[in-house]
Chains A and B, each alone.
Chain A
């Protein structure tokens, strides 16, 4: 069949580099897959029991668009307790995973601003979300020595240049690097001064080894920050696709409308699973973080002994390496040894390889040394 209409649609599609940006898998293929965003974790029997109980009691129907009330409460409580951000139930939208959180915030908050500032190195999911509908994008330079974060000066320059909405990750999804308390305060002041706003991805924050500063917790910032992340990561729910957005209520309304348009609500099984996970998260996270910290410390030492360049990063669940010869050769070496890792080129950092921190990561590193 010759169809000009189809040809036009497909040509525009092929030209859309953002939409076609390759992205890491959501969940590992196997124990040797160290490149996925989410890890294989055991699922606590209590999560299974609570989810089955909900389903068997008839929770198989549509629920409220922004999510079931107790889960929204649980997410607000978690954000308040964990990062000091003053969110309530009305500020929370439960999403069908982290990518839906990126999409809804970037598109719906983005629609209220002329342009959006996005770091040169960022999770490709942000670029893909931008690719669904044309947005004016200002690229923020990143500093490799700072774990590929955009500097406060870059943020200042972008905002001074008229770009009042920023998409920032802390920790960086590439390196795990975080903004310090002082840097977060400085970003808050810059944004405040110019009546700007920030979409703040803190999905990896539970794995930060040490203090963590959330932008929404800064004085006066909650009204201009949308915080996004996975709902209770590390609890075995990676393939259940459950995430959150926490935002001022004025921003929740358009995102809720769009959520209704694109998916009505999030799977009830995922929501009830996450609700039970919220009860177990505190204790489980502490144990996991201690274990990850220990493994990552050994990996850093191993890398150092092998002259590998480990990027600055505070999140204990990932380790990123800067490879002088580029990521391709390193990935080929890893593949030959039976391992998968994330290509930094996906993020806009073609000389970086990212590996998840697991019990098999050391063997992968040895293959690179």
Chain B
């Protein structure tokens, strides 16, 4: 009997487990920044343990944190929200994502998804009983999803449109022109927009991030998620949020109460410190990612890999079709032979087995070492092909 190939989350589990067994592993897979959480945020958590450890927090989160989030989305994203009724705090961006998808979609509803995309969107939609309608984008166009393709994907069953910018794993940023057109399609066809802004502070070169909820006609039909994980290196704290119109947010709140009830107050107080305290650590990290991105792209050029230029985010999605290997096999060989963990494109979509996602979330020296090892693996693979 042939063993069924693992895909998606299960494939990644196996690779993460194998990687953890190597003492010298260099992880360029998981979206977990290598920086530790800034000290003033840890200090705020300590203070919360002493002074606020038993504070009551409703499912939607502490009001002080919701106010800080409202101020942040106004300042960064130009979205006006009422902290009382239009913000829900979540267990990280992941819970925000799950809640957002389940809130907007039910059995048989279609969600239009520019691909490639983060697998959890499909998993969450499957939980809700919805149907994913894919709009494909490719490296040669820097993974730009064409609004005309989105328009063509709309049907009578369409309920929502997913807009992730910067995208994970493709790292493209939806241009302001395209964003306006996408929102126009959503308004014309009465779709709920699900916007994932989690990488909004990491945009490179002259690219510009625009939140659909900030546009005329956008806010009343858009749920926007974000989290502190990537910007403040707080992945372990599990703190994120959704903002949106009060009527939809009332549903999000009930779903949050049903799924996990609430969010740790210690993380919430840490989150208040992150959003209202000094922001120099965020700027330092963004600068580091800019340098590392250049490092990775130069190495990929040397290896002869094509890629969509990462316009934002913390990773690059590279075309490995020239190797003749499926991305799962390639990632496995790089891991087993060189102890470097990169994620296969097939973990993101069955149609992306010609791609590899590499993050630049390692110190530069380690990143260099990882890229050198990848070059060795690639040279071996190409030599075998000759």
- Whether a CB of chain A sits under 8 angstroms from the CB of B233 is yes
- Whether a CB of chain A sits under 8 angstroms from the CB of B138 is no
A51→B236 CA distance, assembly (Å): 13
* B residues near A263, Cβ cutoff 8 Å: 91-92, 94-95, 98, 238, 260
A131→B106 CA distance, assembly (Å): 12
User: Could you tell me how many residues of chain A have their Cβ less than 8 Å away from some Cβ of chain B?
Assistant: 69
Name the distance in Å between B246's Cβ and chain A's nearest Cβ: 11
* B residues near A238, Cβ cutoff 8 Å: 54
Q: Mark B78-116, 1 if CB is under 8 A from A, else 0.
A: 000000000000011011001000111011000000000
Q: Tell me whether B264 and A240 are in contact (CB under 8 A).
A: yes
Which residues in window 67-105 of A have CB below 8 A to B?
95-100, 103
- Whether a CB of chain B sits under 8 angstroms from the CB of A9 is yes
- Whether a CB of chain A sits under 8 angstroms from the CB of B49 is yes
Q: Tell me whether A241 and B54 are in contact (CB under 8 A).
A: no
A-B contact count (CB 8 A): 208
Q: Tell me whether A264 and B238 are in contact (CB under 8 A).
A: yes
Which residues in window 39-94 of B have CB below 8 A to A?
42, 45-46, 49-50, 53-58, 91-92, 94
Q: Tell me whether A132 and B255 are in contact (CB under 8 A).
A: yes
A266→B159 CA distance, assembly (Å): 31
A23→B256 CA distance, assembly (Å): 12
* A residues near B94, Cβ cutoff 8 Å: 261-264
Q: Mark B203-234, 1 if CB is under 8 A from A, else 0.
A: 00000000000000100110000000000011
- Whether a CB of chain B sits under 8 angstroms from the CB of A3 is yes
Q: Tell me whether B238 and A267 are in contact (CB under 8 A).
A: yes
* A residues near B124, Cβ cutoff 8 Å: 261-262
* B residues near A267, Cβ cutoff 8 Å: 91, 236-238, 264, 266-267
Complex interface: stretch among B30-38, B339-347, B366-374: B30-38
- Whether a CB of chain B sits under 8 angstroms from the CB of A5 is yes
Complex interface: stretch among A56-64, A203-211, A314-322, A330-338: A56-64
Q: Tell me whether A239 and B127 are in contact (CB under 8 A).
A: no
- Whether a CB of chain B sits under 8 angstroms from the CB of A298 is no
Q: Mark A226-250, 1 if CB is under 8 A from B, else 0.
A: 0000000000101111100000000
Residue ID in chain B nearest A128 by CB atoms: B258
A35→B190 CA distance, assembly (Å): 43
A3→B54 CA distance, assembly (Å): 41
* A residues near B56, Cβ cutoff 8 Å: 25-29, 36, 239
Q: A268-B237, A269-B45 are in contact. Are A96 and B260 (CB under 8 A)?
A: yes
Q: Which of A5, A61, A107, A270 interacts with B266 by CB under 8 Å? A: A270
- Whether a CB of chain A sits under 8 angstroms from the CB of B183 is no
A132→B256 CA distance, assembly (Å): 10
* A residues near B128, Cβ cutoff 8 Å: 133
A26→B57 CA distance, assembly (Å): 8
Name the distance in Å between A18's Cβ and chain B's nearest Cβ: 8
A241→B106 CA distance, assembly (Å): 28
Q: A1-B220, A6-B247, A12-B106 are in contact. Are A60 and B261 (CB under 8 A)?
A: no
Q: Which of B107, B237, B258, B261 interacts with A19 by CB under 8 Å? A: B258
A193→B91 CA distance, assembly (Å): 40
Q: A239-B265, A260-B9 are in contact. Are A60 and B127 (CB under 8 A)?
A: no
Q: Tell me whether A99 and B261 are in contact (CB under 8 A).
A: yes
- Whether a CB of chain B sits under 8 angstroms from the CB of A265 is yes
Residue ID in chain B nearest A126 by CB atoms: B258
* A residues near B10, Cβ cutoff 8 Å: 257
* B residues near A55, Cβ cutoff 8 Å: 37, 42, 45-46
Q: Tell me whether B264 and A26 are in contact (CB under 8 A).
A: no
Q: A28-B56, A261-B98 are in contact. Are A9 and B103 (CB under 8 A)?
A: yes
Name the distance in Å between A71's Cβ and chain B's nearest Cβ: 13
Q: Tell me whether A269 and B247 are in contact (CB under 8 A).
A: no
- Whether a CB of chain A sits under 8 angstroms from the CB of B191 is yes
A4→B160 CA distance, assembly (Å): 12
Q: Tell me whether B190 and A62 are in contact (CB under 8 A).
A: no
Q: Tell me whether B262 and A97 are in contact (CB under 8 A).
A: yes
- Whether a CB of chain A sits under 8 angstroms from the CB of B134 is no
A261→B42 CA distance, assembly (Å): 27
- Whether a CB of chain B sits under 8 angstroms from the CB of A48 is yes
Q: Tell me whether A60 and B235 are in contact (CB under 8 A).
A: yes
Residue ID in chain A nearest B219 by CB atoms: A1
Q: Tell me whether B259 and A60 are in contact (CB under 8 A).
A: no
A181→B348 CA distance, assembly (Å): 50
Name the distance in Å between B235's Cβ and chain A's nearest Cβ: 5
A264→B251 CA distance, assembly (Å): 22
Q: Mark A248-285, 1 if CB is under 8 A from B, else 0.
A: 00000000011011111111111001000000000000
* B residues near A20, Cβ cutoff 8 Å: 254
Q: Tell me whether B259 and A9 are in contact (CB under 8 A).
A: no
Q: Tell me whether B257 and A99 are in contact (CB under 8 A).
A: yes
A311→B342 CA distance, assembly (Å): 59
- Whether a CB of chain A sits under 8 angstroms from the CB of B26 is no
Q: Which of B37, B106, B192 interacts with A60 by CB under 8 Å? A: B37
Q: Tell me whether A52 and B267 are in contact (CB under 8 A).
A: no
A67→B248 CA distance, assembly (Å): 32
A239→B36 CA distance, assembly (Å): 24
Q: Tell me whether B260 and A56 are in contact (CB under 8 A).
A: no
Q: Tell me whether A97 and B248 are in contact (CB under 8 A).
A: no
Q: Tell me whether B217 and A63 are in contact (CB under 8 A).
A: no
* A residues near B142, Cβ cutoff 8 Å: none
Residue ID in chain B nearest A108 by CB atoms: B127
Q: Tell me whether A62 and B192 are in contact (CB under 8 A).
A: no
Q: Which of A62, A103, A260, A261 has the most CB of B within 10 A?
A: A261
A48→B48 CA distance, assembly (Å): 10
Which residues in window 2-16 of A have CB below 8 A to B?
3-6, 9-10, 12-13
Q: Which of B49, B95, B192 interacts with A5 by CB under 8 Å? A: B192
Name the distance in Å between B52's Cβ and chain A's nearest Cβ: 8
* A residues near B314, Cβ cutoff 8 Å: none
- Whether a CB of chain B sits under 8 angstroms from the CB of A41 is yes
- Whether a CB of chain B sits under 8 angstroms from the CB of A198 is no
Q: Tell me whether B42 and A52 are in contact (CB under 8 A).
A: yes
- Whether a CB of chain A sits under 8 angstroms from the CB of B308 is no
Q: Tell me whether A6 and B236 are in contact (CB under 8 A).
A: no
- Whether a CB of chain B sits under 8 angstroms from the CB of A125 is yes
A125→B256 CA distance, assembly (Å): 11
- Whether a CB of chain A sits under 8 angstroms from the CB of B120 is yes
Residue ID in chain A nearest B16 by CB atoms: A64
A129→B249 CA distance, assembly (Å): 18
- Whether a CB of chain B sits under 8 angstroms from the CB of A345 is no
Which residues in window 263-287 of B have CB below 8 A to A?
263-267, 270
* B residues near A241, Cβ cutoff 8 Å: 260-264
Add 9 more A-B contacts to A36-B56, A96-B260, A269-B236 (CB < 8 A).
A9-B103, A13-B251, A19-B258, A27-B55, A55-B45, A55-B46, A56-B42, A263-B260, A270-B264
Closest 9 CB pairs of A and B: A99-B261, A128-B258, A268-B236, A60-B37, A40-B54, A100-B260, A263-B91, A262-B98, A239-B265
